[in-house]
RNA sequence: GACCCUUUCGUCUAACGGUUAGGACACGACCCUUUCACGGUUGUAAUACGGGUUCGAUUCCCGUAGGGGUCGCCA
């Protein structure tokens, strides 16, 4: 026997931002739809007029698109069940509401609010992830489904739309598990078959607390603004609560789709680890072709409120390939660019401290500089040869001169490949800064 | 507080009765190397606790503890 292809939905309310937990829920729904040849619906639950703004909706639409999630029905992609904004579906809700009234499933409070008369029975939820859960509704107060002003409550519109849009599977956060009891009552009151439910565990802060808007990395916009690669973020989000059941971690959405099964979804909440997300980002960043990296980097640079050194410099494009393999995320340009473009940048304390341990620093630097001065061809290979020659003259290993040379070049103990960086800098730019920092070092190190 | 879910290295997870409990991030060491990195190798590190069931429990059952969720005229 064959079952019809599933219809799933992501139904966010526009609160002004898209939470990573919400983004992952959207991703899981989308993955499920794509894995089974189903339909993914985006429905905006904007019944709360006060919070509903165009900017808030844009955060959702843009965020999902950025992640690589496309919807078959929804805003800007109208389908047979349009409109996909709850704020525009009033007549539908009125009609469904009347059904409930006619069947005597409701009663009105003195102030005008309307409640649904609960059967007060135990609902058994057959959850695809959590298993069978008994939800005792006998002691619960009747839920309100319509406010005195005539607007409808979440539970009501959510169920009505799931019926109207023929949603077959509801994949949502575990925080909704208790709502499901209410929702099933409503489905039954309408004579509709409830969808298949799958409640996924939540994403928590590193300290185990609930992620809220202001926590770093909680909003998807954080990753967009920090120029993360969407494939990396989507990949990371999937790793939270889902596993391919083997040792792979770097997977494309196409690879994940066939492995997206209920058995592969975890049962316990996961703490968000920004470090691992950055590591994953670095993996994707390293594989990026040069034009794409340039584009990403430059777009980020131009978006900075205070321009970073080198932003407008024509030599920027030449140095970007040196930086690409060194960073985990684009904002680390803020560390690399100043040391590369600013010859007067002061010498970092850790670099100075490491140098202080070197014997006979001043004479070594003098020898090294004299060899570099005499270089006619300022290429990485020539510079390397000059360093080797200086080292030979000093009877030390070339390696002993390279770290000091790095510090003279950038003022930092860490950075991009030194020799290519020196070549990129050019003789006329490099030599003065080498001399200046050598003077600064030897003046204070004695 | 009541109810529900959950519990393997610090973190994400694998192992669906028998493994030296595996991988990854982070951290340390070593190797590679011309510096910084990458990479390679490797180390530290876990089955919350207590009972059962079983020849044998990370795995099944019960209890305890911890964590999370829900208890709205928010969604």
Token output for A201: 């565990």
Closest C-alpha to A29, from A216, A222, A264, A198: A198
| In-domain check, residue A316 | no
- Find where tokens 């409550």 sit: A153
Instruction: Tell me: pLDDT of A319 over 90.
Output: yes
pLDDT at A1: 52
Q: Which domain holds residue A432?
A: 343-445
Which residue carries 């409930």 as its tokens? A100
User: What average pLDDT does chain A have?
Assistant: 94
pLDDT category, A15, cuts 50, 70, 90? confident
CA(A8)–C1'(B61) in Å? 37
Q: Is a pLDDT exceeding 90 seen at residue A51?
A: no
The nt closest to A416 (CA vs C1′) is: B36
Determine the pLDDT at residue A53.
80
Q: What percent of chain A has pLDDT over 70?
A: 98
Q: Stated in angstroms, how far is A411 CA from B16 C1'?
A: 56
Q: Which residue is nearest to nucleotide B15 (CA to C1')?
A: A245
In a domain, A187, yes or no: yes
Q: Is residue A366 part of a domain?
A: yes
Q: Looking at residue A48, what is its pLDDT?
A: 75
Helices A154-164 and A90-102 pack at an angle, to 10 degrees, of 100
B15 C1' to A245 CA distance, Å: 10
Residue nearest to nucleotide B26 (CA to C1'): A275
Between CA A134 and C1' B58 the distance (Å) reads 27
Final residue of a domain: which of A160, A182, A204? Answer: A204
A206-CA/B10-C1' distance, Å: 10
Amino acid whose CA is nearest the C1' of B37 = A326
One-letter-per-residue 3-state SS of chain A: CCCCCCEEEECCCCCCCCEHHHHHHHHHHHHHHHHCCCEEEECECCCCCCCCCHHHHHHHHHHHHHHCCCCCEECCECCCCCCCEHHHCHHHHHHHHHHHHHCCCEEECCCCCEEECCCCCEEEEEECCCEEEEEECCCCCCCEEECCCCCECHHHHHHHHHHHCCCCEEEEEHHHCCHHHHHHHHHHHCCCCCCEEEEECCEECCCCCECCCCCCCCEHHHHHHCCCCHHHHHHHHHHCCECCCCCCCCCCHHHHHHHCCHHHECCCCEECCHHHHHHHHHHHHHCCCHHHHHHHHHHHHHCCCCCCCCCCCCCHHHHHHHHHHHCCCHHHHHHHHHHHHCCCCCCCHHHHHHHHCCCCHHHHHHHHHHHHHCCCCCCHHHHHHHHHHHHHHHCCCCHHHHHHHHHHHHCCCCCCCHHHHHHHHCHHHHHHHHHHHHHHHHHHHC
Task: Report the domain count for chain A.
Answer: 2
Q: Which nucleotide is nearest to A286 (CA to C1')?
A: B38
Output the domain CATH number for residue A135.
3.40.50.620
Through-space separation of residue A3 CA and nucleotide B3 C1' in angstroms: 35
Check whether A411 has a pLDDT greater than 50.
yes
Distance in Å from B73's C1' to A217's CA comes to: 33
> Looking at residue A445, what is its pLDDT?
46
At A64, is the pLDDT very low, low, confident or very high (cuts 50, 70, 90)?
very high
The answer as to whether A359 is a domain residue is: yes
Which protein residue has its CA closest to C1' of B69?
A: A175
Closest nucleotide to A114, Cα to C1': B73
Whether residue A356 lies inside any domain: the answer is yes
Rounded Cα distance, A441 and A446, in Å:
9
Residue A220 has pLDDT above 60, yes or no: yes
pTM equals: 0.95
Which own/partner pairs from A320-327 qualify as long-range (CB within 8 Å, at least 24 positions apart)? A320/A290, A320/A293, A320/A294, A321/A290, A321/A293, A322/A416, A322/A417, A322/A420, A322/A421, A322/A424, A323/A297, A323/A416, A324/A285, A324/A286, A324/A288, A324/A290, A324/A293, A325/A286, A326/A415, A326/A416, A327/A282, A327/A285
Mark which of A185, A204, A223 sits at the end of a domain. A204
Distance A131 CA to B52 C1' (A): 24
Phi/psi for A122 (5° steps) reads -85, 130
Closest nt to residue A174, judged CA to C1':
B69
Weakest-pLDDT range from A176-180, A183-187, A358-362: A358-362
Q: Which two tokens stand for residue A65?
A: 């698109």
Cα–Cα dist A304/A160, whole Å: 45
pLDDT of residue A359: 82
Q: Which nucleotide is nearest to A266 (CA to C1')?
A: B13
pLDDT over threshold 80, residue A122:
yes
The residue lying closest to nucleotide B12, measuring its CA against C1', is: A240
| Nucleotide with C1' nearest the A412 CA | B36
What pLDDT is attached to residue A446?
A: 43
Residue A253 lies in a domain: no
The Å distance, CA of A171 to C1' of B8, is 27
Q: In this structure, is residue A400 part of a structural domain?
A: yes
CA–C1' A229–B69 (A): 32
- Res. A208 pLDDT band, cuts 50 70 90: confident
Q: State which residue has its Cα closest to the C1' atom of B68.
A: A269
The answer as to whether A309 is a domain residue is: no
> Confidence class of residue A444 from pLDDT cuts 50, 70 and 90?
low
By C1' distance from the Cα of A413, the closest nucleotide is B36
Give me A404's structure tokens: 């000091």
Q: What's the CATH code of the domain at A430?
A: 1.10.10.350
A237-267: burial string, b at 16+ Cβ within 10 Å, e else: bbbbbbbbeeeeeebebeebbebbeeeebee
- Lookup: nucleotide whose C1' is closest to A141 CA: B71
Mean pLDDT, residues A38-59 taken together: 87
Instruction: Say which nucleotide is closest to residue A397, CA to C1' distance.
Output: B34
pLDDT for A233-274, tens place per residue? 999 999 999 999 999 999 999 999 999 999 999 999 999 999
CA of A233 to C1' of B40 (A): 27
- pLDDT for A330-374, tens place per residue? 999 999 999 999 999 999 999 998 898 888 899 999 999 999 999
Rounded to whole angstroms, the distance from the CA of residue A136 to the C1' of nucleotide B51 is: 30
B chain positions with any atom within 7 Å of a protein CB: 3-8, 10-15, 22-26, 34-38, 67-75
Distance, CA of A288 to CA of A339 (rounded, Å): 24
pLDDT reported for residue A425: 96
CA of A267 to C1' of B49 (A): 21
Q: Which nucleotide is nearest to A279 (CA to C1')?
A: B25
**φ, ψ for residue A135, nearest 5 deg:** -115, 110
Residue that finishes a domain, picked among A204, A235, A253: A204
């Amino acid at each position: 026997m064959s079952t019809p292809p599933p219809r799933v939905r992501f139904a966010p309310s526009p609160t002004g931002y898209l939470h990573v937990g919400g983004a992952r829920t959207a991703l899981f729904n989308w993955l499920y739809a794509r894995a089974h040849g189903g339909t993914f619906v985006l429905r905006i639950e904007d019944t709360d007029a006060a919070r509903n703004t165009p900017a808030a909706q844009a955060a959702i639409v843009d965020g999902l698109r950025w992640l690589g999630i496309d919807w078959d029905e929804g805003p800007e992609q109208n389908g047979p069940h349009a409109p996909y904004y709850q704020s525009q579906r009033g007549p539908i809700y009125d009609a469904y509401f009347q059904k409930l009234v006619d069947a005597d499933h409701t009663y009105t409070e003195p102030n005008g609010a309307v409640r649904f008369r609960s059967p007060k029975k135990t609902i058994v939820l057959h959850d695809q992830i959590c298993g069978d859960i008994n939800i005792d509704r006998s002691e619960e107060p009747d839920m309100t489904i319509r406010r005195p002003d005539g607007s409808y409550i979440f539970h009501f519109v959510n169920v009505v739309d799931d019926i109207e849009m023929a949603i077959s599977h509801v994949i949502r956060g575990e925080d909704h598990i208790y709502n499901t009891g209410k929702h099933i009552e409503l489905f039954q009151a309408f004579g509709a078959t409830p969808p298949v439910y799958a409640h996924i565990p939540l994403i928590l802060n590193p300290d185990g607390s609930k992620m809220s808007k202001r926590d770093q990395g909680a909003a998807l916009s954080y990753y967009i603004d920090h120029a993360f690669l969407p494939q990396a973020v989507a990949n990371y989000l999937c790793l939270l609560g889902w596993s391919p059941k083997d040792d792979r971690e770097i997977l494309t959405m196409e690879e994940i789709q066939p492995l997206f099964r209920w058995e592969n979804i975890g049962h316990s909440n996961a703490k968000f680890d920004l470090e691992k997300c950055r590591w994953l980002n670095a993996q994707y960043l390293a594989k990026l072709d040069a034009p794409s990296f340039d584009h990403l980097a430059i777009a980020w640079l131009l978006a900075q409120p205070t321009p970073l050194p080198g932003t407008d410099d024509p030599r920027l494009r030449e140095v970007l390939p040196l930086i690409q393999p060194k960073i985990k995320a684009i904002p680390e340009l803020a560390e690399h660019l100043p040391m590369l473009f600013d010859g007067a940048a002061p010498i970092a304390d850790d670099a100075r401290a490491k140098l202080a341990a070197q014997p006979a620093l001043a004479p070594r630097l003098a020898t090294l500089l004299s060899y570099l001065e005499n270089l006619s061809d300022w290429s990485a290979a020539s510079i390397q040869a000059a360093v080797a020659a200086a080292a030979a003259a000093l009877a030390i290993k070339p390696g002993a001169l390279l770290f000091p040379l790095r510090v003279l070049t950038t003022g930092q103990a860490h950075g991009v490949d030194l020799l290519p960086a020196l070549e990129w800098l050019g003789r006329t730019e490099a030599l003065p800064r080498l001399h200046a920092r050598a003077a600064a070092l030897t003046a204070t190190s004695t």
